[in-house]
Amino acid sequence: MKKITLFISLLFAVISYGQNCPTSVASGSTVTIPHFKVSPGDCPTYVGIDVTIDGILCTFLSCSGSNLKYTATSPLPSADTFTVVYPTGSCMYVNGSLETLSSPELSLQKSLSMFPNPVDSGQEIQIQFAKAIEGNLRVFNLNGQLISEHVITEQVMQLKTEALSAGVYLLRITSEQDILTRKFIVE
């Protein structure tokens, strides 16, 4: 069973590098109907795929030409500044623009180590930063449901997994300057 889970995990990781983010938030976007611009011909990539936006489940509504729309299950905090989590990766938008490699997210990303991953249910995941940070850590399932929330005040913390069933989870770390989303697997 562990070999099958590992194979699926590796396949999931390979697919995640193929995620294309919509090019921008469209001008018609609202807090209840997020609307994106996608490259022509990319609609089949998104059809039927639900996402989470800042932890709120958004269901696929339509995609035609270069227009992609979702319906938020509750109002979003902003119509144009948020992080979208797809099953295969995440995309961050600020004032409607897709953040690129110059994003401040990279500084937190480079300083984070997280292990073991995958983790056996009941084990703890060690999360370590290059230096002590202050922020929040949230764990979401792939349906966008908030599972747990923790305050970060140290350089190293332990994340308990005994309450998590086997599956893929998203770890979102928010500090004053940075936001980072990472996947982890509980076996």
Which contiguous run of DSSP H or E holds residue 5?
Answer: helix 2-16
Residue 94 sits in the same domain as residue 139: no
| 157 and 111 housed in the same domain | yes
Q: Do 84 and 115 belong to one domain? A: no
Grouping H, G, I as helix, E, B as strand and the rest as coil, residue 166 is coil
Instruction: Answer with the one of 73, 98, 123 that is the final residue of a domain.
Output: 98
Question: What is the predicted pLDDT for the residue at 30?
Answer: 92
77 and 121 housed in the same domain: no
Cα–Cα distance, 131 to 77 (Å, whole number): 30
Number of domains in the chain: 2
For each of the chain's 187 residues, which pLDDT tens digit applies? 554 443 333 333 333 334 478 889 998 899 999 999 988 888 888 888 898 888 889 999 999 988 999 999 999 888 888 888 877 677 888 788 887 544 444 456 666 788 888 899 899 999 887 778 888 999 999 888 999 999 999 888 999 999 999 999 999 888 877 788 888 999 9
Neighbours of 133 (CB within 10 A): 19
- 117 and 59 within one domain: no
The pLDDT of residue 88 is 67
CA distances from 39 to 23, 66, 155, 166 (A): 7, 6, 41, 36
Q: How far apart are the first and last CA of the chain?
A: 9
* One domain for residues 45 and 122: no
Please tell me the predicted confidence (pLDDT) of residue 42.
87
Give the per-residue pLDDT at 6.
Answer: 37
148 and 72 in a common domain: no
pLDDT score of 149: 94
Residue 144 belongs to what domain range? 105-186
pLDDT (0 to 100) of residue 175: 83
Q: pLDDT tens digits for 115-169?
A: 888 899 899 999 887 778 888 999 999 888 999 999 999 888 999 999 999 999 9
Domain boundary among 83, 98, 113: 98
User: Do 149 and 81 reside in the same domain of the chain?
Assistant: no
Do 67 and 129 reside in the same domain of the chain?
no
| Amino acid letter, 104 | P
Among 51, 83, 98, residue at a domain's last position: 98
> What CATH number corresponds to the domain at position 142?
2.60.40.3080
Same domain, 20 and 83: yes
* CATH code for position 53: 2.60.40
Residues 110 and 174 in one domain: yes
